[in-house]
Amino acid sequence: MTYDYLIIGAGLYGAVFAREAMDAGKSVLVVEKRPHIAGNVYTEDIEGIHVHRYGAHIFHTNDAAVWQYVNRFATFNRFTNSPVANYKGELYSLPFNMYTFNKMWGVVTPEQAAAKIAEQRKEITGEPKNLEEQAISLVGRDIYEKLIKGYTEKQWGRDCRDLPAFIIKRLPVRLTFDNNYFNALYQGIPVGGYTKLVENLLKGAEVRLNCDYFSHKAELDAMARQVIYTGPVDAYFNYSLGTLEYRSVRFETELMDIPNFQGNAAVNYTDRETPWTRIIEHKWFEFGKDAQGNDLPKTVISREYSSEWKPGDEPYYPVNDAKNGALYQQYKALADREEKVVFGGRLGEYKYYDMDQVIAAALARSREEMAR
C-alpha cells in the first residue's frame, strides 16, 4: 500500500480530511475528476474579480471551532449577505424583515407587521405539511405569492406543496430592520477566493486532477488502506437501486465593460416568468475592489438557471423529500457494508449541507478515523 488514504474529490470535505490526515502523519492521494480543486466552492480570477464558478458561496457559521479552523487557512472579509428580491420590477429586502414588511404592506412598527402575518397565517391550521403551508405560516400569503412561490418552483422544479417544509425554514424571519440573510455569528468571504483556501488546506498533498475514480477504481483502491469517497453515493453503486434525484444549475457568465450592473452581490428574480432564479455580481463579495484596494473598472455577472439533474450533469442540490430519503436509506445500508470506504460530504451523504457543516462533518469523521 502506497497511501493511508485515497480521497475521492478535492472539495471541502476531501480537502479537510486530507489536511487532518496529513497533520496526523498519514499519507494521502487526492483524485479529482474536474480540472481544478475546490469542488463547488471553486473561484476563478476574471479581470481581478474572484468569480464563484459554481454559484455564490458565503461562508457563515455559529460554530466557533469551525470558524477558528477556516481562519487558519484564509483571512475572511466582513461581507454580509443581503440579497434583493426583484418581483416584476418591484424590489424587496431579504430575508423577510421589517424592510420587506414595510414595502409589502406599508406597515411601520413590528406590532403592525406581526398582526398582518397573524391575520394571513390563519388559513393554515395544524402543523405545516409542506413548503407552501410552512411559508404561509411564517410570513403570510402575500409574501409567499410574490417572493417565495415562483422562485421556489423555478429552483426545485416542483410544486411548493410537494416540497419539504424545512427548506424554507433556512431563511430567517425578523421583526427588526436587519437584512442579514443568515443568523450566523461569523460570516465572510475568504480574501483571495475560496480556491486559495482549499489550496492551503491541501498543501503537501498529492493531487491528481482530471482523474475519474471509476475509470481507474481497481488500480486506485489497491494503492490505499482506506478510501474517502465524496462523490454521489448512488454513482458509487452504479445506480443499482435507481438514481437519487438532484437539482442541477447552469450559469451564464458575462464580463461587462461597466463598473456596476445591479449594485448588489445577489438579486433574486422571484416571479415565475423570468427564466433565471438569480443574478450574481461577483465583485460585490469583495466590495468592488482589487487586492490593492482599487475600484475594479469592469464587472462579471452570472445568471443562474435551475434544472432537473440527468446523467452527465453536475449534481448540485439533493432533493431531500420522502421518496429520495427512502432510497438514500437503502444506499446508506449498502455504504455501511463497504468497510474500506467512508462516504462523506454533500453528495456522499446526500444532505443539503452548508460549507460549515461539511467542514464540521469532515473534522469529526477524520478525527474518528485517526484515532482508530
Q: Provide the annotated active-site residues.
A: 170, 174, 247, 278, 304, 352, 354
**What's the distance, Cα to Cα, between the start and end of the chain in Å?**
18
Chain centroid, CA 68 distance in Å: 20
User: Is 44 strand, coil or helix?
Assistant: strand
Segment interacting with ligand FAD, rule: CB under 6 A, options 29-37, 89-97, 114-122, 326-334: 29-37
Give the Cα separation of 103 and 95 in Å (integer).
13
Given ligand FAD, ligand UDP, none, residue 12, with its beta carbon under 5 to 8 Å by kind, binds ligand FAD
**Percent helix, strand and coil across the chain, each rounded to 5?**
35, 20, 40
Cell of 312: 452527465
Residue ranges in the chain assigned as alpha helix (H): 12-23, 64-71, 98-105, 110-121, 131-139, 141-143, 149-156, 194-201, 217-221, 233-236, 322-337, 345-348, 355-370
The entry of ligand UDP, ligand FAD, none that residue 366 binds, CB within 5 to 8 Å by partner kind: none
Please tell me whether residue 277 binds ligand FAD under the rule CB under 6 A. no
Nearer to ligand UDP, 15 or 167 (CB): 167
Give the relative orientation of helices 355-370 and 12-23 as an angle to the nearest 10 degrees: 30
Candidate residues 6, 7, 10, 74; the one interacting with ligand FAD per rule CB under 6 A: 10
Q: How far apart are CA 372 and CA 368, in angstroms?
A: 7
Stretch that binds ligand UDP, among 26-34, 119-127, 164-172, 281-289 (CB under 6 A): 164-172
299 binds ligand UDP (CB under 6 A): no
CB of 244 to ligand UDP, least distance (A): 18
- Residues whose CB falls within 8 Å of the CB of residue 352, separated by 6 or more in sequence, listed in order: 167, 317, 318, 320, 346
249 binds, among ligand UDP, ligand FAD, none (CB under 5 to 8 A by kind): ligand FAD
Q: How far is the CB of 11 from ligand UDP (least distance, A)?
A: 16
Quick note: the x/- pattern for ligand FAD over 305-344, rule CB under 6 A, is -----------xx---------------------------
Site for ligand FAD in 46-65 (CB under 6 A): 55-59
User: How does 283-297 read in b/e, with b if 16+ C-beta sit within 10 Å?
Assistant: bbbbebeeeeeeebe
Best CA proximity match to 14, nearest among 335, 230, 232: 230
- Tell me the per-residue interface mask from 222 to 241 with ligand FAD, x by CB under 6 A, - otherwise: --------xx----------
> Strand 84-87 to strand 317-318: parallel, antiparallel, or no bridges (unpaired)?
unpaired
Q: How many CB atoms lie within 10 A of CB 342?
A: 22
CB of 318 to ligand FAD, least distance (A): 10
Residue 167 makes contact with ligand UDP by CB under 6 A: yes
Q: Binding string to ligand UDP for residues 304 to 333, with x set by CB under 6 A, is what? A: ------------------------------
CB 42 within 8 A of CB 195: yes
Q: CB of 52: closest distance to ligand UDP in angstroms?
A: 12
Give the integer Cα–Cα distance in Å for 17 and 366: 6
* Cβ-based nearer residue to ligand UDP, 225 or 272: 272
Window 281-300: residues binding ligand FAD (CB under 6 A): none
| Binding range to ligand UDP, per CB under 6 A, among 40-48, 117-125, 146-154, 331-339 | 146-154
Residue 5 pairs with which residues in a beta bridge? Answer: 28, 226
The rounded distance, in Å, linking the Cα atoms of 53 and 277 is 16
Q: Which residues bind ligand FAD (CB under 6 A)?
A: 8-14, 31-34, 39-41, 55-59, 212-214, 230-231, 249, 316-317, 345-347, 353-356, 358
Q: Which residues bind ligand UDP (CB under 6 A)?
A: 85, 94, 147-148, 151-152, 155, 167-168, 170-171, 268, 270
